[in-house]
Amino acid sequence: MSQKPFAVGSDHAGIELKRSLVQELEKRGFQVRDFGTNSSDSCDYPDFAHALAAAIEAGEVENGLLVCGTGVGMSIVANRHAGVRAVVCSEPLSARMSRRHNDTNVLCLGARVVGPDTALDILDAFLAAAFESGRHAKRVAKITPA
């Protein structure tokens, strides 16, 4: 992973899981940049996903974690930004393979889908994997239309 800060964001449904994963990231030595929310009050997930994804577009961060109820809404929003390849995962294999073959840079988790232990396993798989390039680079290049 990059030396740049690791970005995180959540809505109200994902805030508790985000907080626990931020603690784990910091234990592992990551500098974390939190794009909110910082409250359990109802809020709109696109606000936080757009902010995190815009930071990737600007080159301020390279990788991130977004957490909402299912992870789906966050991934839809994040993937609207150039250079963002966000993936929703509910088990570690998909997280690992998305990094290796798809060069994903944002992991989206559903706090209502996975528990804290599984979420940590998924995050660990995402963090440990690296893009394999090679034959996959040509495919990733085709993601963004010319």
DSSP 74-112: HHHHHTTSTT--EEE-SSHHHHHHHHHHH---EEEEETT
- Mean per-residue pLDDT for 8-27? 98
> Could you say which of 50, 68, 81, 89 is catalytic?
68
91 within some domain: yes
- Mean per-residue pLDDT for 90-115? 97
102 within some domain: yes
99 within some domain: yes
The Cα–Cα gap between 81 and 30 comes to 24
- Tell me if 57 sits within 8 A of 69, measured CB to CB: no
pTM confidence score:
0.95
146 within some domain: no
The pLDDT-based confidence of 5 (bands split at 50, 70, 90) is very high
> Is residue 2 pLDDT above 60, yes or no?
no
For the question of residue 50 being annotated catalytic, the response is no
119 within some domain: yes
More confident residue, 14 or 3: 14
> Could you say which of 12, 43, 81, 101 is catalytic?
101
- SS3 for 63? strand
pLDDT score at 1: 57
For the question of residue 68 being annotated catalytic, the response is yes
> Is residue 146 pLDDT above 80, yes or no?
no
The pLDDT-based confidence of 141 (bands split at 50, 70, 90) is confident
> What percentage of the chain reaches a pLDDT higher than 90?
86
1 within some domain: no
- SS3 for 15? helix
Partners of 67 in the β-ladder: 10, 109
Closest alpha carbon to 48 in 84, 77, 71, 70:
77
- SS3 for 129? coil
For the chain, how many structural domains are there in total?
1
The pLDDT-based confidence of 133 (bands split at 50, 70, 90) is confident
- Mean per-residue pLDDT for 126-133? 92
The Cα–Cα gap between 139 and 5 comes to 27
Q: What is the residue range of 38's domain? A: 6-141
**Residue 14 is part of a domain; what is its CATH number?**
3.40.1400.10
pLDDT score at 135: 83
